[in-house]
Structure 1
């Protein structure tokens, strides 16, 4: 059987819509068990190794889905570092501060944090180490991390990744290694709540 890697995004986080968050250690909502049970339906029994972000919205899911595995936690799988903006309301960030990043979020670093390129670099470095093991694996992580991996595998420009890979909370994406590289298949991707990861239209 060809190596398979399952990319799993965390369930709905306990945070008010319109809040900027990345590496803030948010808890999960009361819908966690329902969401996690649906995710579990799409995961095979033959997964050998589990990697996860140590942030609790991922660690709790990884431990629920894989109770008999020794989960390997890696900081490289954390969401983008939002630096000075962590847990601020998007619309409360001054326009002159947020707009340079809005205009070029791929290259411009969030003050005190990361750019999308920074996230891509650390994420894909670890991903290449994971694939070198040639095992059936699962990666429980965040939307930005999973989009980075998929962009890397498909040569999708990062600036297009949010439109190309519309990954909802609790999504499951199966990667299968073939002769010419990995192919991906979205197994589960149900929109449960709307998200806001930038200022509102009126702010812009």
Structure 2
């Protein structure tokens, strides 16, 4: 299955803030970043987006350019960081960060999703895609897909805002 995953463009949020499910607006640089994304996109058979605004806005821009409809899917929403949402990473208690590092896949001490839960959701999303899909999503979902496919650096994959990876 050929699959292209596109990370949303830069969100409007203070640097160093933990955010996942928080529905953020996009930075003023959106138009420039979105045009850069368009310049290197394949023409997909299916266009899918996370339901969060930062992805749906980019997906709508792509849809207008390619004359495609968007399928919005909860499978591709970012990880829920629970009580950490909107908190500067530096303000999260050290013992909680250490707990996550010690049990990366199963830690849910923040009251949100564990990485294992995110991975299961992304796996279900992958199984529901048609060949040649393009998904506008988040860094966590892209990392999960890379880990599932066993490519790039798996969970350590780094995709910049507006960046993309093709799998399959």
Task: Give TM-score, length-normalised by structure 1.
Answer: 0.76
On the 8 A contact 2:21/2:79 being kept in 1, the answer is yes
For the 8 Å contact 1:82–1:110, the answer to whether it is kept is: no
SS at match of 2:165: strand
- Residues 1:169 and 2:157 aligned together: no
2:131 is aligned with 1:142: no
Residues 107, 117 of structure 1: 8 Å contact kept: yes
Aligned to 2:119: 120
Instruction: Tell me the SS of whatever aligns to 2:159.
Output: coil
Q: Deviations over 1:59-89 (max 9, x none)?
A: 0000001123221111111111000110011
Distance in 2 separating the partners of 1:69 and 1:148:
26
CA distance, structure 2, for counterparts of residue 33 and residue 44 of structure 1: 19
Q: Which residue in the other structure is 1:56 paired with?
A: 53
Query: Which structure has the larger Rg over C-alpha atoms?
Result: 1
- Alpha-carbon distance between aligned partners in 2 of 1:104 and 1:17, rounded to the nearest angstrom: 26
Number of the residue aligned with 2:72: 73
Q: Which residue of 1 aligns with 2:95?
A: 96
Q: In the TM superposition, what is the alpha-carbon distance from 1:114 to its structure 2 partner? A: 0.9
Whichever structure has more helix as a proportion of its residues is: 2
Is 1:42–1:172's contact at 8 Å kept on the other side of the alignment?
no
| Correspondence list, 1:160-199, <5 A | 161-162=155-156, 165-175=157-167, 182=168
How far 1:14 sits from its partner (Å)? Answer: 0.7
Give 5+ residue unaligned stretches, structure 2: none
Alignment partner of 1:153 out of 149, 154, 166: 149
Taking a change above 3 Å as real, the CA distance of residues 97 and 161 of structure 1, as seen in their structure-2 partners, is closer
Shift in Å at residue 4 of structure 1?
2.9
Offset from partner CA, 1:121-164 (integer Å, 9 cap, x none): 0011110121xx3x32110000010111111111788xx622xx
Matched residue pairs, number? 166
Cα root mean square deviation, aligned = 1.8
